[in-house]
Amino acid sequence: MTPREPFRPPSSGTRRRPLPEAGAALLTLVAAAACASFRPPAPGVAERAAAAGSYSASLRVSVSGADLRGGSRALVAFRRPDALRIEIPGPSGARLVAVARDGRLVAVLPSERAVLEREARPEELQALLGVALSPGELMDVLVGTPPEGLREYRADWGPAFPRRIVAVLADGTKLRATVEESDDGTGVAAAAFDAPVHEGFRPVDADEARRLLGGR
């Protein structure tokens, strides 16, 4: 039995299944983003979001890069300065639970009883998830503060945080996120940022972890 993790997304209605793998070409994504309206933040909202010490959200995410194209629902939470949790849910439980903290990344695939342990560097997040961002940079992207080095960043703002995000990374990878629910993360238990339980799990590298997730 896979242990239950002490993390809950912001309250929402019906649980959604992960999105199917994104097959649209990058130009299609660019055209769709160009047609959409991106609302600026209300006065003071961006500053408060940037200063947020914690955050929690349920997202629909797609990534289009040189070696990965895919999309999924994701549950994300962070607690500054360096604690980040990413969970990819599946029909019968989490497909992936990844926690970066104190410079270490521990990612488990519960149904496969597999674990990846690496340094929490942009290269390692790229190898696993296709996004070459450090945990701190990913936090900034989510709350509307684009880190240096991005080719493009646009955010459609809600009352407190971005509701839609389009970011083009330095290597040309395009990250798109639609926020279903978000809040300031104060209700997320501290234990959510502990390394996921992986006793008895077999170690895997990033290539195998991505294969098990269905990546290419």
In single-letter form, the type of residue at position 49 comes to A
Distance CA 22, CA 186 (A): 32
**CATH code for the part of the protein at 39-185+192-213:** 2.50.20.10
Ramachandran assignment for 103, one of left (phi > 0), alpha (psi -120 to 50 degrees), beta (any other)? left
DSSP state at residue 36? S
Tokens 């439980």 belong to which residue?
Answer: 93
* pLDDT score of 36: 60
E strand segments, 102-161: 104-109, 114-119, 152-157
* pLDDT score of 69: 79
Tokens 């590298």 belong to which residue?
Answer: 205
Torsion angles phi and psi, residue 52, rounded to 5: -60, 130
Distance CA 56, CA 181 (A): 8
Distance CA 166, CA 154 (A): 5
Segment 65-74, tens digit of pLDDT: 877 778 999 9
Q: How far is CA 158 from the centre of its chain?
A: 19
- Dihedral of CA atoms 130, 135, 141, 146 in degrees, nearest 10, equals -100
Task: Print burial letters for 113-141: b (CB count within 10 Å at least 16), e (below 16).
Answer: ebbbebebbbebbbbbbbbbbbbbbbbbb
* pLDDT score of 13: 37
User: Residue 56: CB partners within 8 Å, gap ≥ 6?
Assistant: 9, 10, 76, 77, 182, 183, 184, 185, 187, 188
Q: How far is CA 27 from the centre of its chain?
A: 23
Listed as ranges, residues in the chain with pLDDT below 50 are: 1-6, 9, 11-35, 215-216
- Determine which helix (DSSP H) or strand (DSSP E) holds 141, and give its type and residue range: helix 135-142
* pLDDT score of 12: 39
